[in-house]
Structure 1
Amino acid sequence: MKLTKYTHACVRLEKDGAVLVVDPGSFSEVETALAGAHAVLITHQHADHFDEERLVEALRDDPTLAVYAPATVATALSVRLGDDEPGRVHTAEPEQRYSVAGFEVQTFGGQHALIHPHIPMVANIGYFIDGSLYHPGDSFIVPHGIDVSTLLVPVHAPWSKTGEVIDFVTSVRAARAFQIHDALLNDGGLQLVESHVARIGGLYGTEFRHLDPGESVLL
């Protein structure tokens, strides 16, 4: 499986001719990420993970494109599309398994991390893909009952601090990890946070590596 990272939290997965995209949001290169995609997974409704306008455009351009997302996102897309045809927009829920465009997907979580009591909580789904890769969205939910080989790590957010990022990595104990949710940091800040994650994560068996936007790795 080939993974390509885009700016912030968006990744593109390719396997045996199938393409799955996770969280094409407003900070990301959405058109490039979605080119030729067969399905999209959305973790939650915030714009940096869900660019509604560009995803609606992609769905209108390609009637075979499928989306899995929490209920709020799925409902918004269905209303925009006026789409009564089953099989295009699916509501993703926690503790479920889905076959999506040739990828096997298991869901975890259910709730976005707390930003502030005055900011409403929204649903958030973490996706475990093909028994290997975990994209948590905006949460530090540690998936239970599975072994994660590759972890995508939200390294900076309004809802987190660096100690929590490190604890997430050391709790999951994946063999390797790459950063996501990094668009709010400048280069110096990103290097600082990543150095802590790499050093302490390494003590627990996780090899952390930075990926630039557009860079790909084989998993």
Structure 2
Amino acid sequence: MKLTRRHTLALGVTAFAAIKFALPSTARAQLDGGDAYALEEGQVTIHPISHASFVMELPDRVIYVDPVGGAAAYEGMPDADLILITHEHGDHYDAETLATLVGEETRLVTNPAVFEMLGEDMKARATSMANGDSIEVDGLPIEAIPAYNITEERLKYHPKGRDNGYILTTGGKRIYIAGDTEDIPEMRALEDIYIAFVPMNLPYTMTIDQAASAVAEFQPDHVYPYHYRDSDVEAFAEKVAASNASTKVVMGGWYDKA
């Protein structure tokens, strides 16, 4: 973990809730240190920030996902080597926050719509990925997975073909970041997912029943419900458990600091 200027400011800011239903299969890190999961070499540590934003520490880099909420939300976090942006909605993409977090060596990966919104200086460090694209960023394999609505009255929120989810492969493990989506066929067909981040709030994404059904089908080892606002995530966890899936539901402190 890289120690940076933000470590000296407010190390107590990012304290997260205890897991309510299942601890990670590897050791639970300290409350303010994130959730640690073993890789074939090293570990990945997850730091929920808020709603759909989080930080992942890999053995060789730090990744910010959909960072919004201003620089203060990331005080105490190591600086970002890579930033992933799924789509342009304000709870996923905020140009002002992005400008405060991007350093000289930071790389960005975005969907095409966000890429076109970036200023020229940001575009120079960004890669645009469309649904189905696969790239490597400094040796890290990234796949762009579709993210869209399928229910008639929700189609206007996330049309098919515009937004991304992502799969990262690190240390022999696959991590799925769903973005804003319903229980689409592409999600249900996923295999060998170690950690998944799955949204569940209406009217923008899906119901807890849809989310639990999809998780029971693709069976990640661990799943974080995120982007859920007032949805009943405890009921989601119960539905996953009742499906006899081997998935462990992990509760992050997405709304603890609101």
> TM-score if structure 2 supplies the norm length?
0.68
1:76 aligns with 2:113: no
Cα distance 1:29–1:49, how it changes in 2: closer, same or farther (>3 A)? farther
Alignment size in residue pairs: 204
- 5 Å-filtered alignment, 1:28-177, equals 30-32=73-75, 35-59=78-102, 62-77=103-118, 79=119, 82-83=120-121, 86=124, 88-109=125-146, 111=148, 116=154, 121=159, 123-130=162-169, 131-139=173-181, 140-141=183-184, 142=187, 144=189, 146-159=191-204, 160-177=206-223
Q: 2:248 aligns with which of 167, 184, 207?
A: 207
SS of residue paired to 1:132: strand
Counterpart-to-counterpart distance in 1, 2:100 and 2:201: 29
Counterpart-to-counterpart distance in 2, 1:181 and 1:158: 12
Cα distance 1:50–1:206, how it changes in 2: closer, same or farther (>3 A)? same
Counterpart-to-counterpart distance in 1, 2:129 and 2:222: 26
SS of residue paired to 1:83: helix
1:178 aligns with 2:224: yes
Cα distance 1:103–1:112, how it changes in 2: closer, same or farther (>3 A)? farther
CA deviation profile, 1:98-155 (whole Å, cap 9, x unmatched): 2235532112115455563565737211111114210110113416464212111213
Cα distance 1:167–1:103, how it changes in 2: closer, same or farther (>3 A)? same
SS of residue paired to 2:179: coil
Percent identical residues:
18
Cα distance 1:157–1:29, how it changes in 2: closer, same or farther (>3 A)? farther
Q: Match of 1:129, as an amino acid? A: L
Q: Match of 1:162, as an amino acid? A: I
The answer on whether the counterparts of 2:64 and 2:84 sit within 8 Å (CA) in structure 1 is yes
Cα distance 1:48–1:191, how it changes in 2: closer, same or farther (>3 A)? same
| Deviation for aligned residue 1:35 | 4.3
Cα distance 1:107–1:91, how it changes in 2: closer, same or farther (>3 A)? same
Question: What runs of 5+ residues in structure 2 fail to find an aligned partner?
Answer: 1-43
Cα distance 1:145–1:193, how it changes in 2: closer, same or farther (>3 A)? closer
> 1:9 matched to which residue of 2?
52
The answer on whether the counterparts of 1:19 and 1:101 sit within 8 Å (CA) in structure 2 is no
Counterpart-to-counterpart distance in 1, 2:177 and 2:67: 13
> TM-score if structure 1 supplies the norm length?
0.78
